[in-house]
Structure 1
């Protein structure tokens, strides 16, 4: 999902524990609807968060909601959303694994919690700046980044890791915490609203933002202040040499045992590709060539 997923949770062990259930007692519980407990052959039960703008919204206008509908139609099924009030990061653990729904849209290809489909698009983290500044920053190694006053990044993301690597995190920490009313991401899953991050750049509160493109493309496109969104080169490394990925293939996830459904999803994605490409283009998501066009599991 175009949210922070395990392959991108490179900075927050606690958040990864939440995903796997080790810290489940600390997460807010939401009981799935009893009506969602059984699957029907003519429906596609889609795990969805109603609190994941702009990817998933209760009115089904989110990027991933529209992709899910396109997939269901291509499979000859009706899209049936199974809604959670919690962040989408919990969907696999609390919904898919409990058989309350059957697919999660927009997971990183190869997510170990699920069987993932063939990737249907690839994109990456972006830098967002004011267009009037005409900045062509494409890498975290660009020395100009250190001269910026405030940089907005998601907690637990590759962007946060790289902000630490270039020695700017301590200078920026109070500012980042102010964007979530000083709630600490260390003892709960806390994220900065993507719309607010982009609003900070537009207003001048931040000179630079870095986030996963699907999380912010809609807000960049609709900003009254012209903004520039640039894909980051996939060349980021920590000081110990470990690669910090900036580009990711996106897939649909099903339960590890659902091999038949996975095959149906893969066939549906092929038929739905023109519609999905239209949806991504309308959203303004920059695309990259898919690295591995075969299913990960």
Structure 2
């Protein structure tokens, strides 16, 4: 079984970054234009049916504990719909068996630019990040080009975009690779990497931002997370994340875009509560204070 988070990493490695679309003074999500009929597009217009992985923390699980579970709860409340899930492992065939089969109506947390679905406007922007112990001398390293990383043992998930950047900078010789393909019922590459970092088996870890922030926050003491936004060679490691809907569902997409625009401060709060390192369009961190402000 493919690790659901790893599938995201694979998608992100091929994603084409697009310009963020910003709506201008749109009406409230509940106030759809007269004559709009979502019953043609949705499985059940009275229910927010979310396609999700049942075992993919920090994103989603069957207990409703993940980032995307909490965002779905917010969206369902704002849309005044009942929330329901179609759970399916995010392995090969996930889109076909869920959204494509009309068993649900939206995939949360989809990288912008992937052509498997039609994407909404993004609701957050984040990056791969370097995780290190506080006071280690690496906790302010902001790029894989930093000379302080030379000779260090760095954890990296094999096949992800930052592995290319590490190779360019001569960091793979001492790197500790973690598998991209795992059975999430019994294993987690991200958790294993963080455990190795706290025990001293590696000096730093490179992880996708939401995973880095979530597991670093859980560590005791908490670890430092630095988004890798200053790379000058190799793939860019910053990506926009939105939701995925069926290509034909134009009214549904417009409703979700308005929902995102109108609730960005609440969305930001949920993401920051989970430790996600949020970035604005200038790669500056979005803090708890700035997250509460309307963009």
**Band the TM-score falls in, shorter-chain normalisation:** 0.7 to 0.9
The 5 A counterparts of 1:120-131 are: 120-131=123-134
Match of 2:98 in 1: 95
2:293 is equivalent to residue 288 of structure 1: no
Cα distance in structure 1, aligned partners of 2:82 and 2:10:
27
The answer to which of 92-101 and 48-57 deviates more is: 92-101
Give the alignment partner of residue 137 of structure 1, picking from 114, 138, 141. 141
* 1:161 partner SS: helix
Cα distance in structure 2, aligned partners of 1:79 and 1:98:
19
* 1:280 partner SS: helix
* 1:126 partner SS: strand
* 2:60 partner SS: coil
The 5 A counterparts of 1:2-21 are: 3-9=8-14
Cα deviation for residue 189 of structure 1 reads 8.7
Match of 1:75 in 2: 79
Cα deviation for residue 192 of structure 1 reads 4.8
The 5 A counterparts of 1:41-190 are: 41-84=45-88, 86-87=89-90, 90-135=93-138, 136-148=140-152, 150-172=153-175, 175-176=176-177, 179-180=178-179, 185=181
Distance 1:202 1:280, change over 3 A: same
Cα distance in structure 2, aligned partners of 1:171 and 1:216:
21
Cα deviation for residue 273 of structure 1 reads 2.0
* 1:45 partner SS: strand
Cα distance in structure 2, aligned partners of 1:166 and 1:257:
44
Cα distance in structure 2, aligned partners of 1:217 and 1:157:
17
**Structure 2: gaps spanning 5 or more residues:** 16-41, 283-295
Give the alignment partner of residue 242 of structure 2, picking from 228, 245, 251. 251
Match of 1:264 in 2: 255
2:267 is equivalent to residue 276 of structure 1: yes
Q: What TM-score does the superposition give when structure 2 sets the normalisation length? A: 0.76
For the aligned residues, what is the CA RMSD?
2.5
Cα deviation for residue 75 of structure 1 reads 2.0
Match of 2:193 in 1: 197
Cα distance in structure 2, aligned partners of 1:147 and 1:124:
24
Distance 1:270 1:218, change over 3 A: same
**Structure 1: gaps spanning 5 or more residues:** 11-37, 239-243, 292-297
The answer to which of 155-164 and 215-224 deviates more is: 155-164
* 1:288 partner SS: coil
* 1:164 partner SS: helix
Q: Which has the higher helix share?
A: 1
* 2:239 partner SS: strand
